[in-house]
Structure 1
Amino acid sequence: MSSSLRVYRHLGVRYLLLTIGWLSVLLGVIGIFLPVLPTTPFLLLAAACFMRSSARFYDWLIGHPRLGPWIHDYLDGQGIPLRGKVYAISLMWSSIALSCYLVPMIWARGFMLTSAVLVSLYILRQKTLPARVPHP
């Protein structure tokens, strides 16, 4: 798996990506237990950051028995859980709405709203992962 990774050589970029990656792992794990945080988007962000900063951490995350399946479902084209889609879109639009309220520049509002629409369309176009039946 790690042979196809593109790890940045610039040390500052690698440390920034590692920091964002580990913060995303932390938020993703918290999201497993708290319904207000989406798990899948944070773990996908962590995987993307680790893919570009550390083959070792990327392999660890992808191979993790609890966290890996969240990422594999998306990477294998099986989709994103409905809960992850709802939370990602809800949190994004909430933050965009607050930002549009706080930022008086019309061009910035237009940029934020356009970005939110495009990201929402991307998320909605992804397959929705069927609900898993818990094993006894």
Structure 2
Amino acid sequence: MLSLRRVAYIALAWVSFCLGMIGVVVPLMPTTCFMLLAVWAASRGSPRFAQWIREHPRFGASVVAWERERAIPRRAKGVAVLMLVFSVAVLLLTVPSAIVKLALVTGLGLLAVWIVTRPSPVDGSGPFTNQVR
């Protein structure tokens, strides 16, 4: 029988995974952070689900690179920064408050700097490759 704690971890893993999938197509919605949360929660509730995420052809390499090296693949960095730039453009055109615009643009800019300054995986694995150590 499943414990309440295990059920909660599994539920969190599935919700995070679904949010990550939505983030693939929706600007301003992150993908990788939800996948990292999903694999963390799944590791505690369903190791088989966690392994499935790690082996996923689209997300697995990025998750494994982060878990092993705290690294973000170069291509993922590029896609993330492009999406942040797109998000900033949308915010600048749609948010009426100058203070809110400034806060959001500053926050997204700092996030972009953080992403770019993370190391790249040693073996070059990442999204859009089939390399997983």
TM over 0.5: same fold?
yes
- Residue aligning to 2:45: 55
SS at the partner of 1:80?
A: coil
- Residue aligning to 2:92: 100
Q: How far apart, CA to CA, are the structure 2 residues paired with 1:52 and 1:134?
A: 24
Root-mean-square deviation (CA, aligned residues, Å) is 3.8
Q: How far apart, CA to CA, are the structure 2 residues paired with 1:120 and 1:7?
A: 35
**Percent identical:** 16
* Amino acid in the other structure paired with 1:117: G
Give the paired residue count: 116
Q: In structure 2, do the counterparts of structure 1 residues 20 and 48 end up closer, same or farther at CA, with 3 Å as the change threshold?
A: closer
| TM-score, with structure 1 as normaliser | 0.62
Residue number among 16, 31, 44 corresponding to 1:42 in the alignment? 31
- Residue aligning to 2:18: 22
Q: In structure 2, do the counterparts of structure 1 residues 102 and 18 end up closer, same or farther at CA, with 3 Å as the change threshold?
A: same
* Amino acid in the other structure paired with 1:110: L
Q: In structure 2, do the counterparts of structure 1 residues 87 and 79 end up closer, same or farther at CA, with 3 Å as the change threshold?
A: same
| TM-score, with structure 2 as normaliser | 0.64
* Amino acid in the other structure paired with 1:48: L
Provide structure 2 residue ranges, at least 5 long, that are not aligned to the other structure. Answer: none
Q: How far apart, CA to CA, are the structure 2 residues paired with 1:72 and 1:126?
A: 15
Q: How far apart, CA to CA, are the structure 1 residues paired with 2:36 and 2:70?
A: 17
